[in-house]
């Protein structure tokens, strides 16, 4: 159980650090772009989207590792133990969509819950960041 806690803590910390660095980089680059403000906003949206995808794949690789170790539990349902199914589960968990066709069993459930909470917070952080960037870029003339 302690090993599960350590791995989950590292995953959440890495996801938050990736997101922090991505938003920090965007906050530096966006003001320096010599393009229309609308394109700057699109650049920010795609940059943030890329950061979320990296974070989701981070969790997907962790699911893949955990289900193949047999120590942490498994994923059951419409699932064939592939990395693509792990990424699908990670996308639905991170976004809190939770389709329910794949179900975590065992200690891996804690990682799924933490991923959902992490995704919720990081998506909200992105929304706040984009709001602030749009306020800077779309000032009334």
Task: Residue 28: count other Cβ atoms within 10 Å of its Cβ.
Answer: 9
CA separation for the pair 1, 4 (Å, rounded): 5
pLDDT of residue 140: 46
Q: Can you tell me which residue has the tokens 């910390």? A: 13
Give the percent of the chain with pLDDT over 90: 81
Q: Is the pLDDT of residue 51 over 60?
A: yes
141 vs 119: CA distance, rounded Å: 36
- Architecture per CATH, domain 2-137, reads as Orthogonal Bundle (1.10)
What residues contact residue 113 under an 8 Å CB cut-off, 6+ apart? Answer: none
pLDDT grade, residue 38 (50/70/90)? Answer: confident
**Per residue in 66-107, pLDDT tens?**
999 989 999 999 999 999 999 999 999 999 998 889 999 999
Q: Is the pLDDT of residue 121 over 70?
A: yes
User: Is residue 55 scored above 90 in pLDDT?
Assistant: yes
């Amino acid at each position: 159980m302690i090993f599960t806690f350590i791995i989950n803590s590292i995953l959440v910390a890495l996801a938050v650090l990736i997101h922090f660095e991505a938003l920090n980089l965007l906050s530096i680059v966006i003001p320096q772009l010599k393009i229309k403000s609308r394109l700057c906003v699109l650049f920010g949206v795609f940059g943030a989207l890329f950061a979320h995808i990296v974070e989701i794949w981070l969790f997907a690789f962790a699911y893949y590792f955990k289900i193949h170790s047999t120590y942490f539990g498994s994923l059951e349902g419409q699932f064939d133990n592939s990395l693509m199914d792990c990424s699908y589960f990670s996308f639905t968990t991170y976004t809190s969509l939770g389709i329910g066709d794949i179900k975590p069993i065992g200690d891996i459930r804690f990682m799924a819950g933490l991923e959902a909470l992490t995704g919720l917070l990081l998506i909200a952080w992105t929304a706040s960041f984009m709001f602030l960037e749009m306020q800077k870029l779309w000032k009334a003339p």
